[in-house]
Structure 1
Amino acid sequence: MYYAEFSKKFETISGITITPFKKNSKEIDWSGVQENVEFLINKGVKVIVPCGNTSEFYSLTIEEAKEEIKRVVEYVNGRATVLAGIGYSVDTAIEMGNYAKEVGADSIMIHMPIHPYITNEGAFDYFQTIIEAIDLPSVIYFKDHHLSDDILFKLAPLEKLVAVKYAVNDLPRFASIVQSVSNEYHIAWICGTAEKWAPFFHHAGAVGFTSGLVNLYPEKSFQMLKALQSNNQEETWKVWREVVPFENLRAKYNNGNNVVVIKEAMEQIGLNAGITRQPVSKLKENDREELRSILNSWGLTQLSVK
């Protein structure tokens, strides 16, 4: 019953934290991490996700990632659900997941394995092994469109699997797997590609969505969530039109802008986002101007976010 009930926690926005890096040393600015977690909680975010892709997970050392999980748990202090990102090799993911449990994280999000030679059978075994080895509710981050959804179908009966963050923008495919998996398994289906795709995924069976925008404009993210949950079509598409230019800017260069747009926007309105680490590069000047125009159209200023 615990795991079945836990899945309901994801019927909301999952706020992916950013990791501020200091300008000269590129070390993690822990005070900045704390400021941003506090911002999210004060704005009503109920699921906090350290070590997600927007957190620049793959730019962190294993020790840094573990430290980020530990500190975010401390900063949240029971005020929200902490969903800790883990990944890399099976043994490393298990080590990170058990550490997350040890320091008080509520659940784990297992990143899609990054490997040049991955098969459906191998991915299934990867996720199953990690889920079974860690005594926490587990969420799968599913984003490789080359892999079959049969993986999710076969993993669904695992009691500790409570949600799937689905990040393949193929709506018929998503609807098919949602319809194929029995409700008895209590899987919360999450749109893993943010506000631009949230309305489409919602109508195909998603109960929540992930967000990077929530780090700087949570009011707009919650406006969309409320509209979706109340089936207010007019409001949903009004918000959608307002956020699409921002999300399109993040999607440029094969999603290369994904993190840096969030960080640059936060810096422009006075929040502490820091710089990015390699291989994420600085925002190009023309993109910076476009971003400034979007923020102005939203009326976001240094005063508006305080």
Structure 2
Amino acid sequence: MSTSKVPSGILGFPVTPFTQRGKVDVHALEANVEFLVRSGLSAVFVCCGSGEFQSLSLEECMDIIDTAVGATKGRVPVYVGVGGNLSMALRQLHAAEAAGVDGCLIFPPYLIHGEQEGLYEYVKTIASSSDLNTIIYQRDSAIFTVETVQRLAEIPQVVGLKDGHGNMELNIELVQTLGDRLAWCNGMPFAEVTMPAYAAVGFRTYSSAISNYIPHISRMFFTALENQDREQLHALYQVALMPINQIRKLRKGYAVSLIKAGMEIMGLPTGSMVRPPLVPVEPAHYHMLERVLESVLQAFPVP
């Protein structure tokens, strides 16, 4: 297990670009991963929510993993999303480990809301099946009690917890109980919006959707947060974060498709195609995002 590879800071979750025929566009993915690495993100997480984890075949996942590992060239760690179907998760995990990834993010089990003992066994089975660093993903059908996380923390491969649930009382209890044993990551939708609250309880890293197309805003935000620069934070919220978040909330699935729209507007090679049940950004909303990004770049030019 490579404990030195535990990610910190701003985490990159690249989308999966598709060609017009609906195939994975590995060339566009390679360019996008390179963009994230050059922008200073701390790690790259592929085949996750932003990457349309739910619609990828094992073969497609392996093409994506191989592309990401090749593009990063060891400059930042590469993590892969696994989960849902347990047997498929294990197949993907072992193939990803052989391909040279640094760790995995365990997604909730598909559809089932299990008891704590079942959730424990689910994560334990995946985490203990390889030597990879493992991050627990708390959201939807996988909400862990403090006691369950304590048990999971006894597994050496488990190095972190990503929270996409938003129960701050539970988060405080987790951090106060386990301290630095785990790395704590804010995985809420549009994590910049809630990051000040998460930082206050001990979370030091977050997954950033907008870093796919305006990573300099993510960096400015994170720096202002660390420096407690309230004036800068307010300006970023007013000009960038809240306007983009308002568009994101207009349709279900925009958490993914709006990223692709933003990348397209910024001239990055991804295209707007998403796989069902996701839908592309509607033209009116696309133009709204164009206007917001124009204002963002006027107020905060790319350095």
Would the aligned equivalents of 2:2 and 2:132 in 1 still touch at CA under 8 Å? no
Partner Cα separation in structure 1 for residue 130 and residue 254 of structure 2: 33
**In structure 2, how many angstroms separate the alpha carbons of the residues matched to 1:155 and 1:181?**
11
**CA distance in 1 between partners of 2:30 and 2:214 (Å):** 18
Deviation at 1:249, TM superposition (A): 2.2
Rounded to whole Å, the distance in 2 between the matches of 1:181 and 1:248 is 35
SS in 2 for 1:299: helix
Is 1:12 the counterpart of 2:15? The answer is no
Counterpart in the other structure of 1:243: 241
Rounded Cα–Cα distance in structure 2 between residues aligned with 1:146 and 1:163: 15
Secondary structure (helix, strand or coil) at the match of 1:53 reads coil
Question: Of 178, 188, 191, which aligns to 2:183?
Answer: 188
Question: What corresponds to 1:285 in structure 2?
Answer: 283
Aligned residues: 296
Q: How far, CA to CA, are the matches of 1:68 and 1:204 in structure 2?
A: 35
Task: Give the direction of change, closer, same or farther, for the CA distance of 1:189–1:67 in structure 2 (3 Å limit).
Answer: same
RMSD of aligned alpha carbons: 2.1
Question: Who is 2:25 aligned against?
Answer: 29
1:142-291 counterparts in 2 under 5 A?
142-144=138-140, 147-150=143-146, 151-183=148-180, 186-193=181-188, 194-241=191-238, 242-253=240-251, 255-274=252-271, 275-291=273-289
CA contact (8 A) 2:119 2:142 kept: no
Residues 138 and 144 of structure 2 are in contact (CA less than 8 Å); yes or no, is this contact kept in structure 1? no
**Equivalent-residue separation in structure 2 for 1:230 and 1:95 (angstroms):** 43
Is 1:122 the equivalent of 2:118? yes
Deviations 1:121-178 (A, max 9, x none): 2111100111011111111111127734333232122211111111112222222221
Q: State the distance in 2 between where 1:6 and 1:74 align.
A: 17
Name the counterpart of 1:79.
75
Q: Distance in 2 between matches of 1:208 and 1:59?
A: 27
Alignment-mate amino acid for residue 229 of structure 1: E
Deviation at 1:48, TM superposition (A): 0.6
CA contact (8 A) 1:195 1:240 kept: no
Aligned to 1:294: 292
Aligned equivalents of 1:138, 1:117: Cα separation in 2: 21
- SS at 2:54's partner residue? helix
Sort the Cα spacing of 1:146 and 1:36 in 2 relative to 1 into closer, same or farther, 3 A.
closer
- Aligned-pair CA distance for 1:117: 4.4
1:293 and 1:98 map into 2 onto residues whose CA distance is 44
Q: Give 5+ residue unaligned stretches, structure 1.
A: none
Which whole-Å CA distance do the structure 1 matches of 2:113 and 2:200 have between them? 34
| 1:276 Cα deviation from its structure 2 partner | 0.8
Post-superposition CA distance 1:286-306 (Å, at most 9, x none): 322321221111127xxx779
User: In 1, distance between residues paired with 2:133 and 2:97?
Assistant: 10
Tell me: CA distance 1:42–1:188, structure 2 relative to 1, closer, same or farther (3 Å). Answer: same
Which amino acid letter does the alignment assign opposite residue 281 of structure 1? V
Q: In structure 2, give the amino acid aligned to 1:81.
A: P
Cα distance per residue 1:66-124 (max 9 Å; x no partner): 22112210111111111111123222212211211111111111112222343322111
Instruction: Deviation per CA, 1:172-204: give whole Å up to 9, x if none.
Output: 222222112243xx2000000221111211111
Between the aligned partners of 1:33 and 1:96, the Cα distance in structure 2 is 19
What letter matches 1:284 in structure 2?
E
* 3-state secondary structure, aligned to 2:50: helix
Structure 1 residue matching 2:286: 3-state secondary structure = helix
Match of 1:88 in 2: 84
Residue 87 and residue 145 in structure 1: after superposition, are their counterparts in 2 closer, same or farther (change >3 A)? closer
Distance in 1 separating the partners of 2:110 and 2:218: 29
Equivalent pairs: percent with the same residue?
Answer: 27
TM score, norm. by length of structure 2: 0.91
Letter in 2 for 1:154: R
> Which sections of structure 2, spanning at least 5 residues, go unmatched?
none
1:206 shift after superposition? 0.5
**2:115 counterpart of 1:102:** no
1:46-75: CA deviations, max 9, x gaps? Answer: 201111100111111121112211221011
> For 2:182 and 2:229, how far apart are their aligned partners in 1?
25
> Do the aligned partners of 1:145 and 1:168 also contact (CA within 8 Å) in 2?
no
SS in 2 for 1:139: strand
